[in-house]
Amino acid sequence: MIIILKKGASATEVENLKALLESKNITPHVSEGHLEKIIGCVGDIAHLDPGVIEAMDCVDTVRRIQEPYKAANRKFHPEDTVVDCSGVKIGGGAFSVIAGPCSVESEEQIVAIAKSVKASGATMLRGGAFKPRTSPYAFQGMGAEGIKLLQLAKKETGLPIVTELMDFKDIELFNDVDVIQIGARNMQNFNLLKEVGSYTTKPILLKRGMSATLQELLMSAEYLMASGNPNVILCERGIRTFETALRNTLDLGVVTLLHKLSHLPVVIDPSHAAGHSWMVDSISVAAAAIGADGLIIEVHNDPPHAKCDGAQSQTPEMFAKTVSRVMRVRAALAE
Ligand code: PEP
Ligand code: MN
C-alpha cells in the first residue's frame, strides 16, 4: 500500500501517521519526489482500513500495490534510486563501468588489470575470490587471499571493488569490499539474501538467476530490501534458453521493463551473456543505448591463460575501445 500525502502535509502530521502505521506493525518508508511525497507501507496491512487512513487531513489518496514486490516497486518509490558505491554513483543518470577478471589469480594479474581498466575509464574493479564453478575440479578461486589482493589493487588504483559472496560464513572477509555480488546461482538462496540484507547496507549487485523471471529477480531484491538493505543494483546477465550458440540469451528489453517496474539501477553483464569476447563490444554499446545504468565486463591481461572465463574476457585493448564507444553513445543520447 502507498499513501500519497497532500502538498501541505506538516511534519507533525507525517510523524503521527508514521507512528500509527508502526503501531500496527507496518514499516513506513517515506519517499519525497519532485511531484509528491509518499509513504510506502511494508508489512501485513490486513488490519489496516485504507478508508481510515484516507480520511486523515494530511492524506490525499491511498493506493494498493498489486505486485508482490513492494520496496523494489517504482510505485513505492517513484524516483530512481542512486546507489553510492564508496563514492561511485550508479542509477538516476549516473553510469558506471565495472571491469576486471572473472577471478583473481595473482597480485601481478589483478594489479595490472586494475591499472589498465582504470586508465580506460572503468569506475569499479571486479574479480571473483570465491567462484561458483559447475565442476568441483575447476579452479574454485583464491578465497580470502583473493580478497586481500583485491584490496591491494584498490589501494593502487582507488577503484572500489566488487566481488561475489557465496556463503554467509565468509561475510567478515567482505568488511572492506565496496559492493557484494550475489551471483546468478545464489539469486534464490533466500537465507543468504536475508542474512546479507540484515547484516549490511553496503551495495549489493544482484545477478539474475539463469532461469529466473523478472518478477523472481525483483522478489529476490525485495528479500534484501525487506531485511534492511535498500542499496540493491539489479544485474541482467542473460538466461538459459534452447539457444546454445551464445552462452546465455540476453534480452536488452529487460532494461526498459525493469526501469518501469522498479526504481533500482540496472546493470548489464555482456560477458556472461555472450560467452565470446568478440561480441562484448557491440552488446555493451547496445546496453548503453537502451539506457542501462552500467556495465560489468570481464577483462583479462592474458585471456588464453585465464583460470576462468577466458573465452569471454576482453583484452585491456578491446576494453578501452568498448568504453570509448559506450561513452560516445551516451554523449550522443544526452544531446
Ligand atoms: C561472475 O560474475 O563471474 C559470475 C559467476 O557470474 P554469474 O553469477 O552471472 O554466472
Ligand atoms: Mn565469469
Whether 129 shows a pLDDT value over 80: the answer reads yes
Q: What is the pLDDT of residues 154-203, one digit of tens each?
A: 999 999 999 999 999 999 999 999 999 999 999 999 999 999 999 999 99
Residue 261 pLDDT class (50, 70, 90 cuts):
very high
What is the structure's pLDDT at 142? 98
CA distance 142 to 148: 10
Which of the listed residues 210, 234, 269, 271 should we mutate to test ligand 1's pocket, taking the one with most ligand atoms within 8 A of CB? 269
What is the structure's pLDDT at 48? 86
Say yes or no: 44 and 179 in one domain: no
- Of 43-57, 117-131, 134-148, which gets the smallest average pLDDT? 43-57
- Considering the domain boundaries, does residue 51 fall inside one? yes
- Of 62-71, 81-90, 117-126, which gets the smallest average pLDDT? 62-71
- Among the bound ligands, the one closest to the CA of 248: 1
Residue identifier of the C-alpha nearest atom 10 of ligand 1: 184
Say yes or no: 318 and 178 in one domain: yes
- Among the bound ligands, the one closest to the CA of 185: 1
Q: Is 92 in the pocket of ligand 1 (CB under 6 A)?
A: no
CA distance 77 to 72: 8
Whether 35 shows a pLDDT value over 80: the answer reads no
Which atom, in ligand 1's list, is nearest to the CA of 102? 3
Helix (H) or strand (E) holding 184, with range, is none
For the chain, the average pLDDT equals 96
Say yes or no: 149 and 226 in one domain: yes
Q: Distance between the two ends of the chain, CA-based, in angstroms?
A: 38
What is the structure's pLDDT at 45? 86
Q: What is the pLDDT of residues 278-317, one digit of tens each?
A: 999 999 999 999 999 999 999 999 999 999 999 999 999 9
What is the structure's pLDDT at 46? 81
Q: How far is the CA of 298 from the centre of ligand 1 (A)?
A: 10
Q: How far is the CA of 182 from the centre of ligand 1 (A)?
A: 9
Whether 33 shows a pLDDT value over 90: the answer reads no
Residue 47 pLDDT class (50, 70, 90 cuts):
confident
| Domain encompassing residue 111 | 83-334
Whether 81 shows a pLDDT value over 90: the answer reads yes
Q: Is 183 in the pocket of ligand 1 (CB under 6 A)?
A: yes
Say yes or no: 96 and 227 in one domain: yes
CB atoms within 10 A of CB 68: 11
Q: How far is the CA of 183 from the centre of ligand 1 (A)?
A: 5
With CA atoms as reference, report the closest residue to 128 among 193, 180, 206, 200.
Answer: 180
Average pLDDT, integer, range 37-49:
88
* CATH number of the domain within which 29 lies: 3.30.70.1140
With CA atoms as reference, report the closest residue to 38 among 24, 58, 16.
Answer: 58
Q: How far is the CA of 272 from the centre of ligand 1 (A)?
A: 7
- Considering the domain boundaries, does residue 76 fall inside one? no
Say yes or no: 129 and 199 in one domain: yes
